[in-house]
């Protein structure tokens, strides 16, 4: 299940941040990806909401600093494993 | 459309080559989602052409317009108006705005903002087509009335928006997304996303953003309207079987529970008045059909229908004959019948015909059926030529059926033809001809409004509009030629002529005029063969050269047939 969530989240990252090579997605962070700006975060948050059918609060944007942080955030939402 | 799919489609568009289709987006909130969705929906409609969507300044709708001056030329501008653009108090990102004491002047703020917007749109529409979305989100809970009661202030606000819409919709090259259509594709309660609005100023839910952009894309790149409807009669145009129930037995009256057929007739009559061709394909006795169609209480007039193909052969054969009479392709036509079997037979013979089943005995399905039919023939404007179309098609059959033994020259000499040539006065009809003509078409190129306006501004550019009439009646504006006047040669990049004007040697007369007026030694043609422009190709081949991109004056003089029409030229 965890791997499934990771794969789906990786897909979101690849769509929002296409400059990140697929192999580097899981280690991506706002410090290592120059293209990860505020607009990238806006798109990424919407993609994550859509993919996992969750509603993110304003403070959730603070988690959007690395793949791992976003993964933790998604896992904290109970219905995150629901296939969209 | 899901956002993930839209992002993929938008990226796909970036790999397309060639001259991009450029759209500017003006909106007061974060435009990212609209940009992606608009690009995706436009890519889905434009196919291989690259789409570039550029947002203006974020934060103030009116300031976003200012950015247009600094950007490259656009093919279209999309404007998304929301309540907060009229007054920030009508949104959720500010406070202290909903109190009754502070709210009373909100209409006074909104009105001048809308007037400013109207002026900007009017100015912009002189250069580029503008597509507007009116406020589509719920108003905030700022008004004081009890549950369910409309508030006077709210009505005043909506009145200002409607007055703005009415004024702006009258401006040429401005289109407004139909709010009723938007209501049908985007559920009102699902439109607003407060979470995204607060964290990133994205007030539209993804579903609503997609729906709005889909409609804007449809306005920017509309489907070509169909040209004709071929309808069945029994249990379609009327209720009942003519052969069994007789002329008086068929019905379309409310009291006989057949009013759905009257509504269908009403829509057909309305479409006929904007130039849509109506034909009948029915398995019936022809004499009986003539009697039935002559009933005085028929909602549609018998005169509006031509031709009527009644007999016992297959429907596809009847349709073949009607297509021939109308001289249009199968993809320009809709066929309506109540029988799935007949629809399947026609669909097999003519896969490009748009087949629709009449929802007999299903009144609930009727509004959707009628709306879909109306949409297939939607036009921004109705020209004089649209009104003349049916009469000219009847005339064309006279041309085809000239007297036995009469030569083409004898016939043309007898019809008192008059051709009117007008230079440099392009109109809506010229633009329409360029974008809908397939057969007599130099290169099949379509052109959008912005490119057409830019072309008109080119130095050395000429545009020649051609009208025709003869003793059978007028055909109206039937051809357009456009090009550049070079040293001793003309370069022609647009040449189209309606198929209704074939076989009258109008194209020869036009070429004669061009050689004479510009004293050119040759005409260079930007010719491209398409699947359907055989008639144009045959015309050029008549001058005896294998080079279809040039006609010399000598070749024209040697091959031009005798011309009979009286020609008048106007500037």
pLDDT of A4-54, one tens digit each? 999 999 999 999 999 999 999 999 999 889 889 888 899 999 999 999 999
Q: Which residues of A touch B33 (CB under 8 A)?
A: 43, 46
Topology of domain B404-570 in CATH is Aminopeptidase (3.40.630)
Q: Which residues of B114-142 are buried (b: 16+ CB within 10 A; e: fewer)?
A: beebbebbbebbebbbbbbbbbbbeeeeb
Å between A44 CA and nearest CA of chain B: 10
Angle at B547 (CA atoms; ends B542, B548), nearest 5 degrees: 60
Inform me whether the C-beta atom of residue B70 falls under 8 Å from chain A C-beta atoms. Answer: no
Among A43, A47, A57, whose Cβ lies nearest the Cβ of B195? Answer: A57
pLDDT for B399 equals 56
pLDDT for B431 equals 87
Spans of all domains in chain A:
4-77
A56, B199: Cβ pair inside 8 Å? yes
Task: Output A45-49 pairs: Cβ under 8 A, ≥24 positions apart.
Answer: A45/B196, A45/B199, A45/B200, A46/B3, A46/B33, A46/B196, A46/B202, A46/B206, A47/A12, A47/A15, A47/A16, A47/B3, A47/B4, A47/B7, A48/A9, A48/A12, A48/A74, A49/B196, A49/B206
Inform me whether the C-beta atom of residue B378 falls under 8 Å from chain A C-beta atoms. Answer: no
Query: What ipTM was predicted for this assembly?
Result: 0.85
**Cβ neighbours of B190 (radius 10 Å):** 12
Identical fold between B228-376 and B404-570: no
Classify B132 as helix, strand or coil: strand
From chain A residues 11-70, the ones with a CB under 8 A of any chain B CB are 11-12, 15-16, 18, 39, 42-43, 45-47, 49-51, 55-58, 60-61
Å between A12 CA and nearest CA of chain B: 8
pLDDT in tens, chain B (571 residues): 999 999 999 999 988 887 899 999 999 999 999 999 999 999 999 888 899 999 988 888 888 887 776 666 899 999 999 999 999 888 888 877 788 777 778 888 899 999 999 999 999 998 899 999 999 999 988 887 787 888 888 899 999 999 999 999 999 999 999 999 999 999 999 999 998 898 889 999 999 999 999 999 999 998 888 999 999 999 999 999 999 899 999 999 998 889 999 999 999 999 998 889 999 999 999 999 999 999 999 999 998 999 999 999 999 999 999 999 988 889 999 999 999 999 999 999 999 999 999 999 888 999 999 999 999 998 777 777 777 776 777 666 655 555 667 788 888 898 899 999 999 887 888 888 898 888 899 999 988 888 888 888 888 899 999 999 988 888 888 999 999 988 888 999 999 998 878 888 999 999 999 999 998 899 999 999 998 898 899 999 988 888 889 999 999 999 999 999 999 999 8
CATH of domain B3-220: 3.40.50.1110
Spans of all domains in chain B:
3-220, 228-376, 404-570
CATH superfamily, domain A4-77, is ACP-like (1.10.1200.10)
Among A11, A18, A58, whose Cβ lies nearest the Cβ of B198? Answer: A58
Which residue in chain A has the smallest CA separation from B36?
A43
Q: Which residues of B touch A15 (CB under 8 A)?
A: 4, 7-8
CATH of domain B228-376: 3.40.50.1000
Inform me whether the C-beta atom of residue B33 falls under 8 Å from chain A C-beta atoms. Answer: yes
Q: Which residues of B touch A39 (CB under 8 A)?
A: 32
Cα(B562)–Cα(B40) distance, rounded to whole angstroms? 54
Is 60 exceeded by the pLDDT of residue A69? yes
B195, A50: Cβ pair inside 8 Å? no
Which residue in chain A has the smallest CA separation from B195?
A57
Residue identified by tokens 């456009």 is B482
B30, A42: Cβ pair inside 8 Å? yes
pLDDT for B398 equals 57
């Amino acid at each position: 299940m965890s791997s499934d969530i990771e794969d789906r989240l990786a897909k979101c990252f690849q769509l929002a941040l296409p400059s990140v090579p697929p192999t580097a997605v899981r280690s991506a962070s706002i410090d290592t990806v120059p293209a990860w700006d505020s607009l990238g975060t806006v798109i990424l948050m919407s993609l994550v909401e859509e993919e996992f059918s969750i509603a993110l609060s304003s403070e959730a944007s603070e988690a959007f600093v690395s793949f791992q942080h976003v993964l933790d955030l998604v896992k904290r939402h109970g219905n995150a494993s629901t296939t969209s | 459309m899901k956002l993930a799919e839209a992002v993929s489609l938008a990226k796909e568009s970036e790999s397309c080559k060639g001259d991009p289709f450029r759209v500017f987006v003006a909106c007061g909130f974060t435009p990212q989602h609209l940009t992606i969705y608009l690009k995706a929906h436009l890519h889905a409609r434009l196919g291989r052409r690259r789409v570039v969507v550029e947002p203006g300044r974020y934060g103030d709708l009116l300031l976003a317009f200012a950015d247009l001056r600094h950007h490259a030329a656009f093919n279209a501008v999309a404007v998304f108006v929301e309540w907060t653009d009229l007054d920030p108090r009508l949104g959720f990102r500010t406070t202290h705005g909903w109190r009754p004491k502070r709210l009373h002047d909100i209409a006074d703020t909104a009105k001048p903002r809308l007037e400013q917007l109207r002026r900007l749109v009017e100015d912009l529409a002189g250069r580029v087509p503008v597509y507007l979305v009116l406020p589509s989100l719920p108003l905030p809970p700022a008004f004081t009335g009890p549950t369910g009661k409309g508030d006077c202030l709210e009505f005043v606000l909506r009145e200002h928006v409607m007055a703005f819409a009415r004024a702006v919709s009258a401006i040429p090259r401005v289109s407004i997304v139909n709010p009723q259509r938007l209501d049908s594709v985007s559920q009102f309660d699902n439109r607003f996303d407060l979470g995204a609005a607060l964290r990133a100023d994205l007030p539209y839910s993804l579903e609503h953003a997609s729906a709005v952009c889909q409609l804007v894309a449809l306005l920017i790149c509309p489907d070509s309207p169909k040209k004709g409807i071929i309808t069945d009669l029994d249990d379609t145009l009327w209720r009942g079987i003519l052969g069994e129930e007789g002329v008086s037995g068929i019905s379309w009256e409310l009291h006989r529970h057949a009013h759905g057929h009257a509504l269908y007739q009403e829509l057909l009559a309305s479409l006929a008045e904007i130039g849509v061709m109506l034909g009948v394909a029915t398995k019936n006795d022809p004499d009986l059909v003539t009697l039935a169609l002559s009933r005085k209480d028929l909602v549609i007039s018998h005169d509006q229908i031509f031709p009527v193909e009644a007999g016992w052969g297959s429907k596809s054969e009847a349709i073949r004959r009607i297509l021939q009479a109308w001289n249009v392709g199968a993809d320009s036509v809709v066929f309506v019948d109540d029988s799935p079997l007949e629809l399947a037979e026609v669909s097999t013979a003519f896969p490009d015909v748009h087949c629709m089943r009449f929802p007999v005995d299903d009144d609930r399905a009727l509004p959707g059926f009628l709306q879909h039919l109306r949409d297939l023939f939607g036009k921004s404007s109705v020209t004089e030529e649209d009104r003349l179309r049916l009469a000219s098609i009847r005339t064309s059959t006279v041309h085809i059926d000239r007297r036995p033994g009469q030569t083409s020259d004898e016939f043309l000499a007898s019809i008192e033809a008059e051709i009117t040539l007008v230079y440099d006065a392009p109109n809506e009809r010229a633009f329409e001809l360029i974008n809908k003509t397939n057969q007599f078409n130099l290169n099949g190129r379509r052109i959008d409004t912005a490119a057409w306006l830019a072309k008109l501004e080119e130095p050395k550019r000429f545009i020649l509009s051609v009208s025709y009439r003869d003793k059978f009646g007028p055909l109206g504006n039937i051809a357009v030629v456009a090009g550049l006047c070079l040293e001793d040669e003309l370069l022609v990049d647009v040449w189209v002529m309606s198929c209704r004007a074939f076989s009258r040697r109008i194209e020869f007369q036009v070429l004669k005029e061009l050689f004479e007026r510009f004293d050119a030694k040759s005409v260079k043609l930007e010719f491209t063969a398409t699947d359907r422009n055989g008639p144009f190709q045959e015309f050029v081949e008549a001058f005896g050269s294998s080079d279809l991109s040039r006609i010399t004056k000598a070749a024209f003089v040697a091959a031009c047939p005798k011309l009979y029409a009286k020609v008048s030229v106007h500037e």
